Homo-oligomer: A and B are copies of this chain.
Amino acid sequence: MREVAALAGVSLKTVSRVINAEPAVSDEVRSRVVGAIQRLDYRHDHAASSLRRSDRKTSTIGVLLEDVANPFSSALHREIEDVALRRGVLVLAGSSDEDEAREQQLIAAFTSRRVDGLIIVPASHDHSYLLSERRAGTSMVFVDRPPGFLDADSILTDNQAGTRQGVGHLIAHGHHRIGYLGDLMTITTATERYQGYEQELAAARIGLDPQLVRLNVHGIDKADAATVELLKLTEPPSALFTSQNLLTIGASRALHRLDLHHRIALVGFDDVLLGDLLEPGITVIAQDPSTMGRKAAEQLFRRIDGDQSASVHLVVPTRLITRGSGEIRR
């Protein structure tokens, strides 16, 4: 910048004015400076700028996801990116892998780079460690799961209602023995979905058979194995409810291999790509990650822009998509 100023024959401050498009610069000086910038191939240093600047904004946000490669996470990510880019804000993304330590490590890395805000799909349950961050002015929005011991904005899915609708759908098709595959119970959404299962069974006066329930099943392969176990029971289920996208895929894989996919009903929570082309198509309770991502980003930027109002808690509804697998009758 010093060289640009020298070449254009002006002061540092004037170059700064041109770069920041401040009005008080004559056209003649401005064009001289612009010329010098191009001739010298000058690149503005965003970090130095935000260090000195009064608003201290880095125009960068941190996004903590479960796994950037998971379809639900990456749909969230993409929507956040689009909202952010419209404001010239860049996105630092990280995967927690449901590991509390990794969550904290990543968030510490984000905040030490002075991000303007955080969008968090939490893996841990105690976010009091973020209190001081917030006091320091970092905005934050939680997505998919609520914060623990911290009052902050959240954009959630209605997990209980969604699960109840899915399980109810199976009951309406004559099923009483409905197997359940649940993700790690440390995950809030997994707990809520399981509660939905319990409630819907109770509402239909169906006794809960613990043998039919497999909790803490994580990933495609474990779901595949758990499905095989369930179907080997002396009184196997006539239907399955799988409470997460990878579990749905695992269960579906097992059913196909055992050639039971036309006989055992299946409803999954969260949509799966290509679910419509299978035979039968997979009936799902679809979440809406794009809307969640957009709402989360919009809320974050409202906070960054200075909105101090009380915490917002938004619940995005789910949608039952019937494609065949959930309509198999007992």
Contact = CB atoms under 8 A, between A and B. Distances in A.
Given A51-B51, A278-B278, A81 B58 contact: no
A150 interface: no
A46 interface: yes
B69 A95 contact: no
Interface in A164-182: none
Contacts of A252: 274, 277
Contacts of A278: 274, 277-279
Contacts of A90: 92, 94, 106, 109-110, 113
A69 B60 contact: no
B58 A68 contact: no
B71 A78 contact: no
A38 B181 CA distance: 43
Among A68, A92, A278, A279, chain B packs the most CB atoms within 10 A around the CB of A68
Given A45-B112, A92-B91, A75 B69 contact: yes
A253 B272 contact: no
A247 to B, nearest CB: 13
Nearest to A138: B43
A71 B71 contact: yes
Contacts of A256: 277
7 contacts: A44-B112, A81-B95, A91-B92, A91-B93, A249-B274, A273-B273, A274-B274
